[in-house]
């Protein structure tokens, strides 16, 4: 009897390791972002024959990565992390160093995307959003967000100090370029909290990215801070939600490889493919987050470009999230915010 190829491979004991090596576990935050990654990255990677993607969702728990690395039981190959975590994890030795010669030309990327332990994968923004069916006059500035006489109703804000203190200072007349300079001083922090207190009775806090569009659709709030991609997803579902880009705070998410993963070469191959102009352009068509590979921008039509945080019109008065500032002062400000919100 002739043995089939699979049986021969099994008899030789080579099949299972080959299968294991060709499966890559990729971890992201799910939601609209996860769906866009599936379409732009996972499907293309699998179609290329490079390997199979096992997608996993998480909420950014760095502790899980730390536990895997420390116990030498690393089951995640590629993980999407936020900017403070790429720095912290790199300092703690949790991530492999990136061989950029296998990813692409550094000069093609936004400078902030090039990190020794990570590759910036998209640029997103925390912005002001409102329901145009319920609010006939569009708010233009953060001062408008604070103006409950002109724009009656509740305000949705993320529960935490981050972003809110910056917005409070902008609402109080601080220029975008000076926000972190002011916030770094004791008087500046006091000023931000004083401004937050003005709005306190009107704030409805949110904790998950899906909540701001839900608040707007339900009419629970007149306007809210929100991740621009979440508003984009709601617009694609036919909701008349709009964004005011003035003074938006933009940041990057990164791909990292937990230290000691078994599929390092394949992981780097995935990151390289997901960083290519074609893949990043496809991702931007599926969710309005900006590519980090500048060459992707030339592949997008004007309608798509107009919705990205990185478009010239949307980014002209934007503030880049300052990782160093929040690494230095974040703990104290978050504690102060928690005490303030509980009062």
List the domains of the chain with CATH numbers: 5-123+252-315 (3.40.190.10), 125-249+323-342 (3.40.190.10)
Low-confidence ranges of the chain (pLDDT < 50): 1-21
**Quick one: pLDDT at residue 208?**
86
Q: Based on the number of CB atoms within 10 Å of its own CB, is 343 exposed (0-12), middle (13-18) or buried (19 or more)?
A: exposed
The residue to which tokens 């931007």 are assigned: 284
Q: What are the residues facing 28 on neighbouring strands?
A: 57
**Quick one: pLDDT at residue 149?**
96
**Quick one: pLDDT at residue 328?**
87
Taking the CB of residue 3, how many other CB atoms lie within 10 A of it? 10
**C-alpha to C-alpha distances, 328 to 52, 95, 174, 184, 333, nearest whole angstrom:** 40, 21, 21, 10, 10
Separation CA 65–CA 79 (nearest Å): 9
**Quick one: pLDDT at residue 18?**
43
**Quick one: pLDDT at residue 310?**
87
Nearest to 123 by CA among 334, 256, 314: 314
């Amino acid at each position: 009897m002739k043995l089939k190829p699979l049986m021969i491979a099994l008899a030789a004991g080579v099949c299972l390791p080959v299968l294991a090596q060709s499966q890559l576990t990729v971890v992201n935050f799910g939601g609209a972002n996860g769906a866009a990654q599936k379409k732009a990255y996972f499907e293309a990677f699998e179609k290329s024959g490079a390997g199979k993607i096992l997608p996993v969702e998480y909420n950014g728990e760095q502790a899980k990565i730390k536990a895997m690395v420390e116990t030498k039981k690393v089951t995640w190959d590629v993980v999407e992390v936020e900017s403070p975590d790429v720095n912290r994890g790199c300092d703690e030795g949790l991530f492999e160093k990136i061989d950029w010669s296998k990813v692409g030309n550094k000069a093609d990327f936004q400078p902030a995307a090039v990190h020794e332990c990570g590759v910036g994968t998209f640029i997103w923004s925390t912005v002001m959003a409102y329901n145009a069916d319920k609010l006939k006059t569009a708010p233009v500035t953060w001062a408008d967000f604070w103006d409950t006489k002109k724009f009656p109703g509740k305000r949705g804000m993320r529960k935490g100090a981050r972003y809110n203190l910056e917005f409070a200072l902008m609402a109080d007349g601080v220029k975008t370029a000076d926000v972190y300079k002011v916030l770094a001083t004791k008087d500046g922090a006091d000023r931000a909290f004083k401004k937050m207190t003005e709005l306190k009775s009107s704030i409805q806090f949110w904790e998950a990215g899906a909540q701001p569009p839900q608040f707007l659709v339900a009419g629970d709030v007149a306007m809210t801070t929100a991740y621009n991609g979440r508003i984009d997803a709601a617009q694609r579902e036919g909701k008349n939600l709009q964004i005011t880009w003035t003074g938006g705070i933009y940041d990057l998410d990164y791909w990292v490889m937990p230290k000691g993963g078994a599929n390092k070469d394949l992981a780097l191959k995935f990151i390289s493919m997901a960083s290519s102009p074609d893949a990043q352009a496809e991702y931007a068509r599926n969710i309005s987050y900006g590519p980090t590979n500048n060459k992707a921008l030339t592949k997008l039509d004007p309608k798509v470009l107009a919705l990205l945080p990185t478009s010239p019109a949307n980014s002209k008065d934007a503030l880049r999230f300052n990782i160093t500032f929040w690494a230095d002062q974040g703990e104290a400000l978050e504690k102060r915010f928690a005490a303030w919100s509980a009062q």
